[in-house]
Amino acid sequence: MLTELSVIRGKYLQDILEQPQRLRESLECLREFPALERLMVRLKHREFHRIVLTGMGSSFHALHPCTLQLVDHGITALMVESSELVHYKARFFDQQTLVVAVSQSGQSAEIIRLLEVNRRRSALIAVTNTAESPLAENAEAAIITAAGEEFSVSCKTYVAALQALQWLVDLMCGCDPRQTRRRFHDAATAAASYLAHWEDYVSSLAEMLQEVRHLFLVGRGSSLAAVGTGALIIKEADHVHAEGMSSAAFRHGPLEMLGEDTFVLVFAGDKRTVQFNTRLQGDIRAQGGRAQLVGNHSDVPAFQLEAAPDIVRPILEILPVQMITLALAVVTGREPGVFELARKITTTE
């Protein structure tokens, strides 16, 4: 099988393998600065009644973990897709709202519209990979992820955004930033350890996915970041349909699709709901379906993750899905991550 991996040895694979180093470099760039400090003081003094977190595509899905953490800390946090925010929920733009907008390019159509609609009514924190973008230049504070140029499908920009968002939310919640840095240094090391075996993982997954026609990714809580982004990048990278949803939602209808050509990837997630996710995997198998678990106790090496703090797990959870995108490319004989209809930056609403 290894001789058949030549089709995937391109720029997309290179971006995937660069992720540990880019995480380290991005972490070094995360520093508090006066404009951000002023906003944190205002948040502490309860000048903001709500935080609206927004983005599109993988930038939107990356918001799941930090939204949950803010809510856990008693902060009213709303996660709204940018296209819906600007056209249907524009009333959120006021002096009592702090907006956190995430965009790799900082210049997608929806982000440009957001800047036009907001007109500085709400304070805005940007999380972007592009320092010279309209988003960065029009925000009160801009956090630059410094993940480097990316070929096509979001991978290193996505994990860098996850890291930057977690660092930002820890500041918002009053957590010790030194502890955050230590944990994310360990995340880069764990990612490097996982990716060191990429060839073995891709080969084994290519065999596993040979007859699969329907892919479902399911999870709960912060794992919804990997669920949503994972389904998106499978479609982008391989032109193969995949659907992401909560584990609970899968029982409400999609369970009927179980069969030899359907594969369900279940994310074990955190301790609050791990028992429900593992039960779903068992129920799928009991009904003759195909399901594998992503987590510390997976029986498939490509889906085994090192034990990690909850704030780090979303970064590690996307890695097995990236291996799936490479494996599907081997199965179809098509170079992954080559756009034919879409573009890296979406410029039309």
Question: pLDDT by residue (tens digit) across 232-256?
Answer: 999 999 999 999 999 999 999 999 9
Cβ pair 339, 11 in contact under 8 A: no
Q: Is the pLDDT confidence value at 331 over 50?
A: yes
Predicted pLDDT of residue 197: 98
Predicted pLDDT of residue 177: 83
Question: 197-332 — its CATH code?
Answer: 3.40.50.10490
> Could you tell me which residues come within 8 angstroms of residue 222 by beta carbon, excluding any fewer than 6 positions away?
64, 65, 68, 269, 270, 310, 313, 314
| High-pLDDT (> 90) share of the chain, % | 94
Predicted pLDDT of residue 2: 43
Q: Per residue, what are the HEC states of the chain?
A: CHHHHHHHCCHHHHHHHCHHHHHHHHHHHCCCCHHHHHHHHHHHCCCCCEEEEEECCHHHHCCHHHHHHHHHCCCCEEEEEHHHHHHHCHHHCCCCEEEEEEECCCCCHHHHHHHHHHCCCCEEEEEECCCCCHHHHHCCEEEECCCCCCCCCCCHHHHHHHHHHHHHHHHHCCCCHHHHHHHHHHHHHHHHHHHCCHHHHHHHHHHHCCCCCEEEEEECHHHHHHHHHHHHHHHHHHCCCEEEEEHHHHCCCHHHHCCCCEEEEEECCCCCCHHHHHHHHHHHHHCCCEEEEEECCCCCHHHECCCCCCCCHHHHHHHHHHHHHHHHHHHHCCCCCCCCCCCCCCCCC
Q: What is the mean pLDDT of residues 311-335?
A: 97
- Which band of pLDDT confidence, cut at 50, 70 and 90, is reported for residue 344? confident
Predicted pLDDT of residue 345: 82
Q: Is the pLDDT confidence value at 29 over 80?
A: yes
Predicted pLDDT of residue 27: 97
Let me know if the fold of 14-189 is the same as that of 197-332.
yes
Q: What is the mean pLDDT of residues 287-303?
A: 97
Q: Is the pLDDT confidence value at 228 over 70?
A: yes
CA torsion, ordered 322, 328, 329, 330, to nearest 10 deg: 110
Q: What is the mean pLDDT of residues 285-311?
A: 96
Predicted pLDDT of residue 120: 93
Domains of the chain by residue range: 14-189, 197-332
Cβ pair 260, 287 in contact under 8 A: no
Question: pLDDT by residue (tens digit) across 167-211?
Answer: 999 999 999 888 888 899 999 999 999 999 999 999 999 999 999
Predicted pLDDT of residue 3: 44
Q: What is the mean pLDDT of residues 273-281?
A: 98
Looking at per-residue confidence, does 177 or 70 come out higher?
Answer: 70
Predicted pLDDT of residue 78: 98
Tokens of 235: 């479609």
Question: pLDDT by residue (tens digit) across 121-150?
Answer: 999 999 999 999 999 999 999 999 999 999
Looking at per-residue confidence, does 265 or 180 come out higher?
Answer: 265
Question: pLDDT by residue (tens digit) across 73-103?
Answer: 999 999 999 999 999 999 999 999 999 999 9
What is the overall mean pLDDT for the chain? 96
Task: Determine the Cα–Cα distance for residues 341 and 339; give it in Å rounded to an integer.
Answer: 6
User: How distant, in Å, are the alpha carbons of 2, 43, 271, 340 from that of 222?
Assistant: 34, 23, 12, 31
Question: 14-189 — its CATH code?
Answer: 3.40.50.10490
